[in-house]
Amino acid sequence: MADICLVTGGAGFIGSHLVEGLLNAGRRARVLDDFSSGSRKNLESVGEKIELIEGDIRDAGTLADAMRGVEVVYHEAALSRVQRSIETPLEVHEVNCTGTLKVFLAARDAGVRRVVFASSSSVYGESERLPKEESDPCVPISPYGASKLSGEVYARAVSRVFGLETVGLRYFNVYGPRQNPAYAAVIPAFIERVMESKELLIDGDGEQTRDFTYVGDVVSVNLLAAEAEVEAGSVFNIAGGRRTSVNQVADLVSAAFGVEAKRVHGEPRRGDIKQSVADITAAREQLGYRVEVDLESGLRRTVEWFKENRKAR
């Protein structure tokens, strides 16, 4: 069992859920976050149970402090929007590529046993093969996708050269409570629009498909990946294993509120892939991953959280 677990980006959407999952599993959790996109409110439920370090993953001194006594690092910190990577590619490179390499090297220097890090389905680009398998060619079509692929390549290199155990998780469209609608994720954006009695804004024809993954399942597989006996440098698809169009998501969100939300279609977004669904066989067989929450159930939980959160405000 891990002694101290460090979560970079632990005040973010996925990171804060992961921190809760670690505490529920009886682990000690330390959070490193610069709060550029994460929120202190996301950590309210853990209060005094965690150690919080405010700082940037690009700062060597901050990383050295954060790594002391750590056995497992869960690296979630990143600039994660495709559109942001198109607008500010150098900034995204510095955080997602240089920052990730610095996390790996700091972990090596501190004697960390394993780093479980967040990758992304965006590494595949416009590969026409479906479902997407880990062995498929990776040809990213956005700077964000390129930055995540860079992290995977560095992970394999540091595993081989320095002996640091790394496991990469290629997330496919994670959603759930606490997700920020401002970050272009379709499910929270639709939920917020319905709550504000506004039409749903859909990029393109809405027939682009995604493989949605409930955040609770992501937390579970991170904990599994920290302990699984797998080859260092391995990467795994983490998804629901189900192909759903944006139009279908609009239907499901409308149904969850008992309304028929009006839709407005715009131009397709640059850097977006058209079709996506994952083969999750490897994660099942090697990590013990299971999809516990299907899209309908996860959407209901997410909608309820947004309703309650709105009341709280």
Listed in order, strand segments (DSSP E) in 67-225 are: 70-75, 114-120, 165-171, 174-175, 200-203, 209-210, 213-214
What is the separation, in whole angstroms, between the first and last Cα of the chain? 39
Active site residues: 144
DSSP string, 184-215: --HHHHHHHHHHTT-PEEEETTS--EE--EEH
In the chain, the amino acid numbered 4 is: I
Q: Is 109 exposed, middle or buried (0-12, 13-18, 19+ CB in 10 A)?
A: middle
> What span, in angstroms and rounded, lies between the C-alpha atoms of 310 and 313?
5
Contact criterion met (CB below 8 Å) for 142 and 193: no
Q: CA-based diameter of the chain, in Å? A: 56
| Neighbour count for residue 285 (Cβ, 10 Å) | 10
How buried is residue 292: exposed, middle or buried, by Cβ count under 10 Å (0-12/13-18/19+)?
exposed
